[in-house]
Structure 1
Amino acid sequence: MIRVLLADDEVMIRAGVRAILTTDPDITVVAEAGDGREAVELALAHRPDVALLDIRMPELDGLAAAGEITRVAPGVAVAMLTTFGDDIYVARALDGGALGFLLKSGDPRELLTGVHAVAGGGAYLAPRVAARVLTTLRSTGLGRAHAARARTGSLTEREREVLALLGAGLSNAQIARRLGLVEGTVKGHVSAIFTRLDLDNRVQAAILAHEAELIAE
């Protein structure tokens, strides 16, 4: 069962999101918060699998709350839930440790898919957000791609395969099945990749994999 903390200052939004989440028998909402400070406190109290945070909240906004939760409760996977216009904050959210970026206006199935992905150790960007991120990456030109390829050049062939699958949003278990490895071995490869490339989280790894053109579009 995936245990979710839901934080949004609008009661009606919380009710709607909760209604979508409860359609999945494998997801349960264990706590709700109306501001970022309360979200941090509830994350510590309940230790949910996923904290689903709105960006614009009083007391402590979702971006700051994401950073605080990943610092004090590192076992909690954080995903941001916001409007399409707020996706300009995606870089800040990812820097704060968020593994997912979901849209309130998106397909309800995206919400469920995203929660499952981050709960399983993967990363998830709503398709419209992912499209904008990739457009931004492409607009930086060949110099950035060249730098990314040089940065990943020190990886072994197996580590490059793992990084490519991280970039596709797969969890450790999914990567293990895809490559015919045990999950512990994949975890070791992921740790080595993060250390060697100075990465903080799976979303940064995914962006680097795209920049280095390790993923077939």
Structure 2
Amino acid sequence: MEEDDGLFDTFGVEKMQKVKPSYHIKPIFNWLKEIGLEEVYELMCEAGYDDVKTMVNQMLGPLPITDDDLKDSGITKPGHRLRIILKLEQDAGIVPKLKLKKNVETGGFLQCCLLANNATRNLAYNSLIDWLENLGLGSFYTLFIQSGFDNYESLVFVMASSRPLNSKYLEEIVGIKSKDARSKILKRLEKDLEKYYNPMNSVNISFDEPKSVACESCFVF
């Protein structure tokens, strides 16, 4: 089970270092933080997934990391597993990424073509519950949380990928049985993508240091 052990907050590494000064934080922590999943850091490390470059290279080999592999590692929420696989595929150059339109303001210490919790930080909605309530669908908030879509950014991240959410996924994985609700959610997400992102573009991935993974349009401050 994925549990909040109290080591992580919005300050991420800083809090863990304060609690465990001698604890060595591996680069995979920052990689997970880019997609808002630092909470699964210890599960990934315990399963041997602690080196970003090795993981990305594995995606290009005959035995890529799969959803089942992550599930066996203790990552129980399907939305979390999906975001990890998508990020690995993008970093491996297997699938292209979408780029934010130039007139969309980004925030955070990392500004990138597509990083949940950063590229979408200052978009229309501050929280998932706000977004759902704007659609009149606030009652589905718990279902999204339980399935691993913890925030609005995570929905945008998946929709802007090679495996966008569809009606079947919302029904079978998220648990939304109402066809009208599923349709309303997907239509709004598609509209949001058109507003915030340029058409699909392929970008090159480079490893400047073993600890960092970045695309050609990233700027680290």
Compute the TM-score of the two structures, normalised by the length of structure 1. 0.28
User: Bigger relative contact order, structure 1 or 2, given CA contacts below 8 A and separation 6+?
Assistant: 2
From the two aligned structures, give the one with the greater helix fraction. Answer: 1
Compute the TM-score of the two structures, normalised by the length of structure 2. 0.28
